[in-house]
Amino acid sequence: MIIRFISLKRLAIAALSCFPLCAFPAQDSRQAPPAQTREKPPEYPLEPWSSRSATAVILHAECDTETFTPRVVFYLDGAVAGACDTNPFYLSLDLMSLDPGTHRFHAEAYRCGSRIAVSPEAFFHIGPVRILPPRATVAAGGDFQFRLVDMDGLPTEGDWSVEGGIYPGTISKTGLYTAPPEAGSFQVVAGNPFDAKSQAVAQVGADPLNYMTHTAGGERFLLDWMDRNRIGYDLMPDHRLGAMGLEQMLRRYRLLVIQVHPEYLNGAETELIRRYLERGGNILILAGNTLFCRVELQGSPERMARLVRRTEIRQVQALIGEYYRGWSKFMNDYLITRPEHWAFQGLGASAGSHLARGGPWGGGNGWEMDTPGPFSPPGMEQLARGDRSIRNVPTPSIVAYTSPGGGILVNVGSIVFTSTLQSDPMAAGFVRNVLARCGVDVPASGN
C-alpha cells in the first residue's frame, strides 16, 4: 500500500570598574581644615519575589539604583544560593533539586564590597508531585502523554487541566494531552485542584510547523494512526508515484491511499491512477480538493511545479466520484446514509449515525471539500453526507464505487477527515474495513 506524501515546502556586557573622581580645593595650610560631617548612607529599596517555570524556580530582586549597578546575592534557607551582577537581577534554581515544602529566601545588594541593601524575607512552596516531562513540544493537533509522579518518581494520581490562550487544547484524566490546531505555548497543571501547594506545572508547546491541515502536519494523523495499529505501508512522494510503471504498481500494491491535499498532480500521475483502478487496483482517498489542478514539474522533482490549468470537472468526477466545490473553516461530522454497506460492517451504524466526530477541529468534514455531481460514475453509492446547516457552504459526501475492472474506490471528500481517526471509533473502524476489504493486512485489535 502506498501513502502519498506532500513535501513541505546580552547583551554584550561591558564590565567597567568605577573609581570616584575626587576634586580637592586649594587650601591655605595655615588655616584649619573645615569640620568633617559624616553623611548617612543612601537607602536602596530591595524587593524580592519569585516565579516558576516547568523546570525551575526563579528568584528575583528589584533594586532602585540609577547611577550604578550593584551585585545582588540571593540567600535560600539561610545559605548563599548564588549572585547576579546585571539588571534585572535573578537566580534560576533547578526545580528537581529542591525538596518539597516551604522555602524562604532574601536578597542583599553590594557595592564595592559594602552591603548597601537587604531585602525582606519572601517564601515559595514546592509541592509533593511533579509532571514528567516538565516540558514538551507536540505537533498542533497531536497528542502527548504526561505522567504525574511523587518526589520518589513513583506514579501517582491527580486532576489534570490545561491553561493558556482561548483554546489551549484538552487533557484527559490520565494525562493524555491533545494540542489545539493553532500553534502556541500552554501550561499543563496536575495535582490537587483545591490546594495550589499540591500542584505541579509543565510547559507544552504546539509546533507551528505542523499546524497546517493540508500539508505534512495533516498527513501525520493517518501515519500516526497506522503506526499505532501496526499497519504496514510504503510512503512515497508524487514524482515517485508518477515514475512507477502500471504493471509494477499492480504487482506490488493492493491499495493506493491518497490523503489530505492532493490538489496538484501532473498528467502522468493522474493517468496512472486511472489505469490502476481500471485494472483492478483499489484506491482510498482520505482527502479533499483532489486532482483539482494539473501541473508540470520543472527541473528536479523537489522544485516548485508550474500550474498548467484546472482539470475538467467531467474528467475528475468520472474518475474519483467528486470534484472540489469550496471551503469552510466550520468543521463538522458526517451522517451515515448507507449503514448496511460493507464499509460499516461490525460498527453498529444506523441511518443518521455520526461519523468522523471530534478531533482537534471538531469534526472531519470541512476546510476544503469535494462533492459528487452529474459526471460521477454510474452505480456510485453515497455512504455518508456532511452534516451541515450553513448556507452557501458545500456539503461533501463519502462515496464508493467499483470499476468495470473490479477496482474499489472510496472517497471521503474532505481534507480533515484523518484528524478524527484517534477520537472517533466509527471513523477508525470505517478506514479499517476499507483497508481489509482491499486486501491489506489489518491486525484485529486497535483503534
Q: What is the DSSP string of 143-188?
A: EEE-EEEETTS-B---EEEEESSS---EE-TT-EEE--SS-EEEEE
222 pLDDT more than 70: yes
- Provide the pLDDT for residue 10: 26
Mean pLDDT for the stretch of residues 184-211:
72
20 pLDDT more than 50: no
Q: Where in the chain is the domain with CATH 3.40.50?
A: 216-437
Residue 289, C-beta contacts closer than 8 angstroms, at least 6 positions apart: 214, 261, 262, 263, 324, 368, 369, 370, 415
- Provide the pLDDT for residue 88: 86
Name the one residue in this structure whose C-alpha cell is 501525520: 220
The sign of the CA dihedral 259, 263, 268, 272 is positive
Regarding beta strands 143-145 and 176-178, do their DSSP bridges make them parallel or antiparallel, or are they unpaired? antiparallel
Residue with more model confidence, 51 or 37: 51
- Provide the pLDDT for residue 299: 60
Out of 80-84, 178-182, 195-199, 432-436, pick the least confident.
Answer: 195-199
Residue with more model confidence, 231 or 18: 231
Mean pLDDT for the stretch of residues 370-391:
79
**pLDDT single digits (tens) 340-363:** 999 998 989 888 888 888 776 778
**pLDDT single digits (tens) 236-290:** 777 677 677 778 888 888 888 888 877 777 777 888 888 888 888 888 988 887 7
- Provide the pLDDT for residue 82: 95
> Euclidean distance between the first and final Cα of the chain, in Å?
19
- Provide the pLDDT for residue 175: 92
- Provide the pLDDT for residue 340: 93
Q: How far apart are CA 444 and CA 437, in angstroms?
A: 14
- Provide the pLDDT for residue 311: 64
Q: Which three cell numbers stand for residue 273?
A: 491512477
Q: Report domain 46-126's class.
A: mainly beta
Mean pLDDT for the stretch of residues 78-82:
95
- Provide the pLDDT for residue 407: 86
Identify the band that residue 8 occupies on the pLDDT scale cut at 50, 70 and 90.
very low
- Provide the pLDDT for residue 243: 73
**pLDDT single digits (tens) 286-308:** 888 777 777 676 665 555 555 56
Mean pLDDT of the chain, nearest integer: 77
Residue with more model confidence, 59 or 208: 59
Name the one residue in this structure whose C-alpha cell is 474506490: 409
CATH of domain 216-437: 3.40.50
Mean pLDDT for the stretch of residues 86-95:
88
- Provide the pLDDT for residue 389: 52
The secondary element (H helix, E strand) that includes residue 126 is strand 122-126
**pLDDT single digits (tens) 117-171:** 999 999 887 878 888 888 777 777 777 889 898 877 788 888 999 988 778 889 9
- Provide the pLDDT for residue 118: 93
Axis-axis angle for helices 313-320, 267-278 (nearest 10): 40
Identify the band that residue 98 occupies on the pLDDT scale cut at 50, 70 and 90.
confident
77 pLDDT more than 90: yes
110 pLDDT more than 90: yes
Q: How far apart are CA 86 and CA 71, in angstroms?
A: 7
- Provide the pLDDT for residue 201: 79
Q: Where in the chain is the domain with CATH 2.60.40.10?
A: 46-126, 129-208
- Provide the pLDDT for residue 160: 93
Identify the band that residue 21 occupies on the pLDDT scale cut at 50, 70 and 90.
very low
**pLDDT single digits (tens) 385-425:** 887 655 556 688 889 888 888 888 899 888 888 888 888 88
Do 121 and 106 form a contact (C-beta atoms < 8 A)?
yes
CATH number of this structure's domain 129-208, picked from the four choices 2.60.120.1090, 2.102.10.10, 3.50.50.60, 2.60.40.10:
2.60.40.10
- Provide the pLDDT for residue 43: 61
Question: pTM value?
Answer: 0.55
- Provide the pLDDT for residue 78: 93
